A = this chain, B = another copy of it.
Amino acid sequence: MPEYTAPLRDMRFVLHELLNVDEHYQKLNLEEVNAELIDAFLEEGARFASNELAPLNRSGDEEGCQFNEGEVTTPKGFKEAYQKYVEGGWPSLGGDVNYGGQGLPSTAGIAISEMIGTANWSWSMYPGLSNGAVATIESHGTDEQKATFLPKLISGEWTGTMCLTEPHCGSDLGILKSRAIPQADGSYKISGTKIFISAGEHDMAENIIHIVLARLPDAPAGTRGISLFIVPKFKVNADGTLGERNGVACGSIEEKMGIKASATCVMNFDDAEGYLIGPENRGLNCMFTFMNFARLGTAIQGVAHAQKGFEGGLRYARERLAMRALSGPKNPEGPADPIIVHPDVRRMLLTAKAFAEGGRALVYYISQLGDVVQKSTDEEERKQADELMAFLTPIAKAFLTEAGLEAANHGVQIYGGHGFIREWGMEQNVRDARISTLYEGTTGIQALDLLGRKVLQTQGASLRNWTKIIHKFCQANAENDAVKEFVEPLAAYNKEWGEITTAIGMQAMQNVENVGAASVDYLMYSGYVTLAYFWAAMAATAQAQLDAGTSEEAFYKAKIATARFYFKRILPRTAGHKGGIEGGLDCLMELDEEHFAF
């Protein structure tokens, strides 16, 4: 049976020991949050995830969502779990205090998001999308819009969506066709078809607030002619009660490979009443608030599936008996040894563990940058954190989801043939993970964002912001013999990263298509080096605890051992990606389109 045990010790290690959130909150003058509150959240969140959500994960997958005449029924138990979630006050953690939120920083909820997502990714998407809608309205809404929509979104009574994709366009939103016609009362009539709308329709909340991209009449073509609208499922009366049904309806739900308990809806807008949010034709810019939010959320999904692959694989590797260790029996009284004795099984387990724990550190770190962006009163500090966050987000989204998918596959592989059978939960983990490299911008799109927009368009400045941090860490630990084994190679890779970037930049000046040729290998390279930094930093933190004397020696030694594994067995993959980049563009473009197949 798939279960979920939240890795609370590791979460506390990252939040308290690696990232020092207590000190960080003090610096930001956030009196409402401290280590004690965080720990209480962790305990409570773990209980909710393990007791309420994990038991619905497999049944949700098997049952799926049902569609019937415009209505979507979520799997048994989903609605009740959502009620408990709302009653527990979880949706309001980060919300604006003026609209009923608790106003807590991003780091206060990041571990909750991870736990909920790992326990039941499909379920987590219903509240997850709402968080994005809240953030968008908080950032771009008028006071009236905020007053109308935020309180019930923040309380969780209503949920939200993000309506971007249309049948003919996803990555390329510039060609979207949905139309918005201005009305005399200041509202708009929205018409068009949106697809892949997660939580577009369901039975868990009384209203659904859609955030919709559409074009005004005579808007310029392309991405500069797109505006953003709020379109509620039920119109909202002046007194806040629900009014008549709006002209938006779910036309069908998709049959998918995974996340089957998450309703993926075709939404038909037919003269639906909508309200412009943000400036005309600047919708895509406003939507970036939502998209960055969603991208970090999807990075969490990478951690979630890696963690689940690791936990499931570990449970089986300890129990399943097969073969003797090559060096002789380790379980002589049994018929065979537990498979965890075999080096290759350990390689798979440690890979999943290194991705989960390293990914956790990266995601929580970005969340900490988010705190600064959101809460700091120092303009320059906010700007720096924002730039760093923008640089790290595509790495976290794409690299961690690729890593999560790999780790989920290791989870299956450790089970052998049993991994392919539903009852163990490992195959569902792969199916659920598979979407994560696709939605919220594919790996290819993230890679272009990273290399093209973030790195090359800033002449490398955004990369240097980050490599400088790594460089400072290496310098600070240069004399620390205990972590030399990590710091030395990290410093070398950090330098190589810059060199590779310069080389691509030069080629891109000759022919810009070189950017696309290098992008995904470059992103993966960047991800491996970035995770190496977090592993080195975690090893240094653990070593400091050991040096100081601790009763948790085994925990800190395991952290260092996992760092060692990462540096010795995972980081060398960078050589393959470097080689791929050097392989260049020409061999990709040589074949005419009609000569790919005969």
Contact = CB atoms under 8 A, between A and B. Distances in A.
A598 B555 contact: yes
Contacts of A588: 343, 346-347, 350, 565, 569
A576 B570 CA distance: 8
Contact of A442 (B413, B427, B572, B585): B413
Contacts of A288: none
Contact of A257 (B427, B515, B568): B427
Nearest to A569: B583
A595 B256 contact: no
Interface string A73-115: 0000000000000000000000000000000000000000000
Contacts of A318: 593
A353 to B, nearest CB: 7
B257 A422 contact: yes
Interface residues of A, number: 108
A449 to B, nearest CB: 12
A512 interface: yes
Interface string A404-416: 0000010011001
Interface string A566-598: 001111111111111011110111111101111
B579 A573 contact: yes
A342 interface: yes
Interface stretch (A134-142, A167-175, A379-387): A167-175
Contacts of A561: 587, 590-591, 595
A344 B398 CA distance: 14
A309 interface: no
A19 interface: no
A437 B421 CA distance: 14
Contacts of A325: 513
A511 interface: yes
A327 interface: yes
Nearest to A323: B172
A511 B587 contact: no
A133 to B, nearest CB: 20
A312 to B, nearest CB: 11
A548 B515 CA distance: 38
A426 to B, nearest CB: 9
Nearest to A576: B576
A569 to B, nearest CB: 4
Given A172-B322, A575-B576, A569 B598 contact: no
Interface stretch (A275-283, A462-470, A516-524): A516-524
The binding surface of chain A is classed by DSSP as helix
A583 B564 CA distance: 9
A24 interface: no
A589 to B, nearest CB: 7
Contacts of A169: 322, 336
Contact of A447 (B168, B344, B516, B570): B344
A595 B554 contact: yes
Given A257-B422, A350-B588, A196 B417 contact: yes
B513 A417 contact: no
Nearest to A307: B597
Identify which of A172, A423, A589 gathers the most chain B CB atoms within 10 Å of its CB: A172
Given A257-B420, A347-B517, A598 B557 contact: no
A488 interface: no
Interface stretch (A296-304, A428-436, A495-503): A428-436
Contact of A515 (B258, B326, B578, B593): B326
Top 5 closest pairs, chain A to chain B, by CB:
A572-B579, A576-B576, A568-B583, A575-B575, A257-B427
24 contacts: A169-B322, A169-B336, A196-B417, A255-B422, A256-B421, A257-B430, A258-B420, A310-B597, A326-B515, A327-B513, A342-B516, A345-B444, A350-B587, A350-B591, A353-B597, A413-B438, A416-B438, A420-B434, A554-B592, A555-B595, A558-B591, A562-B591, A569-B588, A573-B579
Given A343-B588, A346-B589, 16 more contacts: A175-B322, A256-B420, A257-B431, A258-B420, A344-B519, A346-B588, A347-B517, A350-B591, A353-B596, A413-B438, A413-B442, A413-B443, A430-B434, A561-B590, A564-B587, A565-B590
